[in-house]
Structure 1
Amino acid sequence: MNSPPETPSAAERPAVTDAELLTAHINGDPHAFSEIVKRHRDRMWAVALRTLGDPDEAADAVQDAFVSAYRKAATFRGEAAVTTWLHRIVVNACLDRMRRKSVRPVADDELIEAAERETPLPDQTVEREVSMEVSAALKMLPTDQRAALVLVDMMGYSVEDAAQVLQVPSGTVKSRCARGRAKLAPILSHLRNRTDLNRVSSAKGDRTS
């Protein structure tokens, strides 16, 4: 007599939503959370790297975040998307690391001095070098402004979605972005015609969609 076929896990079934995978994980499916990690680790890594500006720190933050999400899965209430919940955990892990390092935000007059020392990049400079300059400039901002700019200007989140991730009002996100852009503008002005600048320091107005 043939044995009945094994029931596929939630991760193996087609068109399973993130919320269904999380529920399956809570209910004991050993593969469900691995599928969640597989789906979202690249974007979580991008957020962490942009926020921290250091690959090693970003890797540790993402690992801490996924461990936390694994352990706290039962606390997910479905009030936001699973991706928003994950981003919130990753951003908090990054902010915790930044606060533990007690990095002092650069004062406005220091930002002005840095801008005055900048020279235009040679035409052959690749986008990677531009990104490195942007990342270095982001490190000069207070943690709250940096997190808001990474989500809205670099990761393409709407103000409303970023507010959900950061758990602050939309107006607070707009204000943090505006202050951050104002501080970055003098330093990154020489990059104005380069594509990466448009993701961070362009002050054409806050995104609302």
Structure 2
Amino acid sequence: MTDERSDADLLAAHVAGDAAAFGVLFSRHRDRLWAVALRTMGNPDDAADGLQDGVVAAYRRAGSFRGEAAVTTWLHRVVVNACLDRLRAAKVRRAEALPDDLDERGDRGSLATSGPVDPADEALAAERRRLVLGALAQLPPEQRAALVLVDMEGYPVSEAALMLDCAEGTVKSRCSRGRTRLAALLHLLAPEGEADHADPGNPPAAPPVPSPGPRGPPAEQS
């Protein structure tokens, strides 16, 4: 039976001692949280660690939630911060290999597509994903997180600012700088044929990135 309690009620129940409430809450949002963690970290192993850190932190800090934002916004903030902490600690600046099951769950995330796909278009889309996510992994963590939330997951700047715990202007600035840097990186990383036909004074914009499919997020906390 589906638990009809709201996110806020589930979190409050968890704080009050309901052993199952947090698991229900996490299950409700795990796919979106996993997509954000995967895009932010760049590979499934690091994403699993980042998401796990965030889930544990949310589990332990639930009593600090004061309702200033939606519960899902708060959960995203905790997970994104956990991922950024790992990136800063490891000083990750390299492009990581993409998971081999990238398209297994293409219905996850705000940029998903549906319907029959031409094999040639699918191959081109896979190459674009490789280039975009490889370039994305080279951005500073804060720019990467802003782009993931706003451009890839489709969150409004105002909500992304709450998740990143910064001003809206800061999110806009990070997105602007990130887009410019991403376009330049994509121009450098593009296949030789594409690069030859590109306008050097106008690097290509980042193409849309379908939602990466999970290799398997961590198990729910109990």
Would the TM-score normalized by the shorter structure come out above 0.5? yes
Change (3 A) 1:130 1:67: same
Structure 1 segments of 4 or more deviating over 4 A? 189-195
1:128, distance to aligned residue in structure 2 (A): 3.0
Match of 2:45 among 42, 51, 56: 56
Residue aligning to 1:128: 126
Pairing 1:196–2:205 present: no
Aligned length: 173
Mapped contact 2:50–2:86 kept (Cα < 8 A): yes
The residue type equivalent to 1:23 in the other structure is A
Change (3 A) 1:33 1:82: same
Mapped contact 1:148–1:162 kept (Cα < 8 A): yes
Pairing 1:80–2:69 present: yes
Per-residue CA distance 1:154-208 (angstroms, 9 max, x = gap): 0101110100101111111101100011111123356859852699xxxxxxxxx
Larger radius of gyration: 1
1:132, distance to aligned residue in structure 2 (A): 2.1
Distance (Å, rounded) in 1 between the aligned partners of 2:210 and 2:122? 19
Q: Secondary structure at the match of 1:72?
A: helix
Match of 2:159 among 158, 161, 168: 161
The residue type equivalent to 2:40 in the other structure is T
The residue type equivalent to 1:85 in the other structure is W
Change (3 A) 1:183 1:194: closer
- The unaligned stretches of length 5 or more in structure 1 are 1-11, 107-121, 200-209
Match of 1:179 among 174, 177, 187: 177
Per-residue CA distance 1:15-67 (angstroms, 9 max, x = gap): 31000000011111111001011101111110000011110000111111111
Higher relative contact order (CA 8 A, sep 6+): 2
1:129, distance to aligned residue in structure 2 (A): 3.0
The structure that is helix-richer by fraction is: 1
Q: Secondary structure at the match of 1:79?
A: coil
Q: Secondary structure at the match of 1:196?
A: coil
Change (3 A) 1:103 1:193: closer
1:125, distance to aligned residue in structure 2 (A): 2.0
Distance (Å, rounded) in 2 between the aligned partners of 1:29 and 1:197? 39
- The unaligned stretches of length 5 or more in structure 2 are 96-119, 195-203, 212-222
